[in-house]
């Protein structure tokens, strides 16, 4: 690994040869942003775009461990750990509280590192003395594996939504982390779907609430009755028929051939247009941001790592949340289907009062996917809501929580203060 990185620093256009160690869209990034077409993009940015999470973190000289854990239903999940900070005062010899980070829809652990040291949350936490673990949901680039079901050939692999991510993946990963570190409890920080899945876990597997010192929901998503733009609304109305259709033709993975980036790139990002709004809009579709918070230089890195994979059913389940205005289990669409599975004609609600871990919500009034009214309702129904913090920038968008230029200053600093307070008093 080390030699590979050294070679990288000296090399130029062709970045990593090994199939291993590459980001989900490394091939497309190399095609798209190759010199001399895009001579303005630095080598360092290109390298960050094509390295996978372990190599990317090691490039910045932070320690990184890869852990695999198997769920009861056979999925093999990849976790990434930054056990401590770098440099002389890295805190390696201290007793460090554990923080577990969970990414959003179509994302991966890369979300927490791709903006680099000093900005990305995982590095900031490691430098502040935390033992940082990053989960990956079933089906994404680092968790696209199963003991029997081949994700490329067996559509049944993709028969899951964020219900299973919350009900099975999170408990499995959290149990593993606690066992491995010998701790009894940890902090949980989620973004977007990483918050949805947490609320699923807390309501369906309430015994896990005791294992959580504090939970921080960045851009919290549970109720979606007021979500979104017209575009998101129309997508949500289409999602059920779309789900049925894709199931009929045996497609379970969202954008299975990963060619979205190539397509978007060729149509929209050619020439020196990399900072052109249309080009970055392909990422914008994932949730939206505020242009002031958007670092256009980093577009290749974001495109190299995102989208990282998901099932169609995850979208269908969110579509149901939007059109039904409820936070409940997957609706199988037929009386019989629901009765067979749940014993009731309607899918059961996730009982938020059972989520008894201390929860802090961090939200923004201009987040298209977490409307203030929905956030208020969530807060009111949670079993132990502790704090609700409005981001002190009214134009902060859904993706700014992870990629925003000021995220460290206006979100992470507050979260870290709360973690400290909970470590002392919690």
Active-site residue list: 192, 398
Alpha helices in 87-229 (DSSP H): 121-127, 162-164, 170-181, 193-204
DSSP assignment of 193-257, as one string?
A: HHHHHHHHHHHHSGGGGGGEEEEEEES--S--TT---HHHHHHHHHHHHHHHHHHHTT--BSSTT
Shortest separation between residue 226's beta carbon and ligand NAG, angstroms: 28
**Residue 146 has what DSSP assignment?**
B
As a whole number of angstroms, the distance between CA 18 and CA 28 comes to 15
Shortest separation between residue 188's beta carbon and ligand NAG, angstroms: 24
The verdict on whether omega for the bond into residue 239 sits within 30 degrees of 0, i.e. cis, is: no
Q: Which one of 4, 37, 76, 386 is in contact with ligand NAG (CB under 6 A)? A: 76
295 in contact with ligand NAG (CB under 6 A)? yes
* Piece of 20-28, 100-108, 262-270, 294-302 that binds ligand NAG (CB under 6 A): 294-302
- Nearest residue (CB) to ligand NAG, 27 versus 376: 27
> Phi/psi class of residue 129: alpha, beta or left (left: φ > 0; alpha: ψ in -120 to 50)?
left
Shortest separation between residue 392's beta carbon and ligand NAG, angstroms: 18
Bridge partners of 359, per DSSP, are: 215, 385
43 in contact with ligand NAG (CB under 6 A)? no
* Piece of 87-95, 170-178, 293-301, 318-326 that binds ligand NAG (CB under 6 A): 293-301
> Phi/psi class of residue 77: alpha, beta or left (left: φ > 0; alpha: ψ in -120 to 50)?
beta
Q: Which one of 150, 229, 234, 297 is in contact with ligand NAG (CB under 6 A)? A: 297
Q: What is the dihedral of CA 398, 362, 80, 124, to 10 degrees?
A: 100
Count of residues that interact with ligand NAG, criterion CB under 6 A: 10
256 in contact with ligand NAG (CB under 6 A)? no
- Nearest residue (CB) to ligand NAG, 156 versus 278: 156
- Nearest residue (CB) to ligand NAG, 298 versus 416: 298
* Piece of 1-9, 14-22, 54-62, 290-298 that binds ligand NAG (CB under 6 A): 290-298
- Region 323-342 residues binding ligand NAG, contact defined as CB under 6 A: 341
- Nearest residue (CB) to ligand NAG, 97 versus 300: 300
By C-alpha distance, which of 148, 100, 104, 134 is closest to 419?
100
- Nearest residue (CB) to ligand NAG, 225 versus 405: 405
The answer to whether 173 and 324 are in contact (CB under 8 A) is: no
Shortest separation between residue 115's beta carbon and ligand NAG, angstroms: 7
- Assign 418 to helix, strand or coil: helix
Shortest separation between residue 42's beta carbon and ligand NAG, angstroms: 8
Shortest separation between residue 76's beta carbon and ligand NAG, angstroms: 5
CA angle 92-98-101, nearest 5°? 120
The interface mask with ligand NAG, positions 199-228, x = CB under 6 A, is: ------------------------------
Strand-pair category, 385-390 with 359-363: parallel
* Piece of 248-256, 270-278, 295-303, 351-359 that binds ligand NAG (CB under 6 A): 295-303
| Sign of the dihedral through C-alpha 232, 233, 236, 238 | negative
DSSP assignment of 23-89, as one string?
A: -TTHHHHHHHT-TTTTTTS-HHHHHHHHB-HHHHHHHTT---EEEEEE-TTSBEEEEEEE-S--STT
As a whole number of angstroms, the distance between CA 120 and CA 114 comes to 7
- Nearest residue (CB) to ligand NAG, 298 versus 370: 298
Please identify which residue in the block is written with the tokens 């609600």.
349
- Region 389-408 residues binding ligand NAG, contact defined as CB under 6 A: 405
- Nearest residue (CB) to ligand NAG, 116 versus 383: 116
- Region 104-163 residues binding ligand NAG, contact defined as CB under 6 A: 116, 145, 156, 159
As a whole number of angstroms, the distance between CA 258 and CA 127 comes to 34
- Nearest residue (CB) to ligand NAG, 240 versus 295: 295
Shortest separation between residue 164's beta carbon and ligand NAG, angstroms: 7
251 in contact with ligand NAG (CB under 6 A)? no
365 in contact with ligand NAG (CB under 6 A)? no
* Piece of 29-37, 273-281, 292-300, 365-373 that binds ligand NAG (CB under 6 A): 292-300
- Assign 138 to helix, strand or coil: coil
Shortest separation between residue 261's beta carbon and ligand NAG, angstroms: 20
Binding residues for ligand NAG, rule: CB under 6 A, are 76, 116, 145, 156, 159, 295, 297-298, 341, 405
């Amino acid at each position: 690994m080390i030699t590979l990185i050294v070679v990288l620093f000296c090399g130029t256009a062709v970045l990593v040869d090994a199939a291993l160690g590459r980001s989900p869209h490394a091939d497309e990034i190399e095609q798209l942003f190759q010199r001399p077409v895009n001579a303005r993009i630095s080598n360092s940015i290109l390298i960050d775009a094509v390295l996978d999470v372990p190599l990317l973190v090691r490039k910045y000289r932070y320690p990184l461990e890869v852990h695999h854990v198997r769920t009861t239903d056979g999925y093999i999940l990849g976790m990434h750990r930054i056990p401590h900070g770098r440099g002389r005062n890295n805190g390696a010899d201290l007793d460090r509280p554990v923080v577990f980070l969970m990414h959003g829809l179509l994302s991966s652990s890369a979300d927490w590192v791709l903006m680099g040291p000093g900005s990305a949350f995982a590095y900031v936490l490691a430098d502040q003395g935390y033992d940082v673990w990053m989960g990956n949901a079933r089906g994404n680039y680092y968790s696209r594996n199963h003991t029997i079901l081949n994700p490329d050939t067996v559509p049944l692999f993709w028969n899951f939504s964020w219900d299973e991510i919350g009900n099975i993946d999170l408990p499995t990963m959290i149990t593993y982390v606690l066992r491995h570190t010998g701790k009894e409890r940890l902090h949980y920080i989620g973004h977007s779907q990483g918050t949805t899945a947490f609320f699923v876990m807390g309501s369906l597997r309430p015994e896990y609430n005791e294992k959580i010192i504090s939970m921080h929901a960045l851009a919290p998503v549970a109720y979606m009755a007021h979500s979104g733009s017209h575009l998101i609304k129309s997508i949500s109305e289409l999602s059920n028929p779309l789900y049925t259709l894709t199931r009929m033709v045996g497609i379970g993975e969202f954008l299975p051939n990963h060619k979205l980036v190539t397509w978007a790139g060729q149509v929209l990002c050619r020439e020196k247009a990399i900072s052109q709004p249309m080009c970055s809009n392909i990422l914008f579709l994932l949730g939206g941001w505020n242009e002031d918070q958007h670092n256009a230089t980093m577009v290749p890195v974001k495109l190299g790592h995102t989208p990282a994979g998901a099932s169609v059913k995850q979208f269908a389940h969110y579509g149901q949340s939007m059109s039904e205005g409820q936070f409940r289990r997957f609706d199988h669409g037929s009386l019989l289907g629901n009765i067979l599975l749940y014993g009731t004609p309607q899918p059961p609600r996730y009982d938020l009062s059972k989520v008894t871990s201390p929860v802090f919500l961090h939200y923004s009034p201009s987040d298209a996917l977490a409307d203030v009214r929905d956030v208020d309702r969530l807060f009111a129904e949670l079993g132990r809501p502790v704090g609700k913090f409005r981001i002190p920038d009214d134009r902060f968008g859904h993706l700014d929580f992870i990629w925003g230029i000021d995220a460290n200053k206006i979100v992470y600093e507050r979260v870290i203060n709360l973690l400290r307070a909970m470590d002392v008093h919690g």
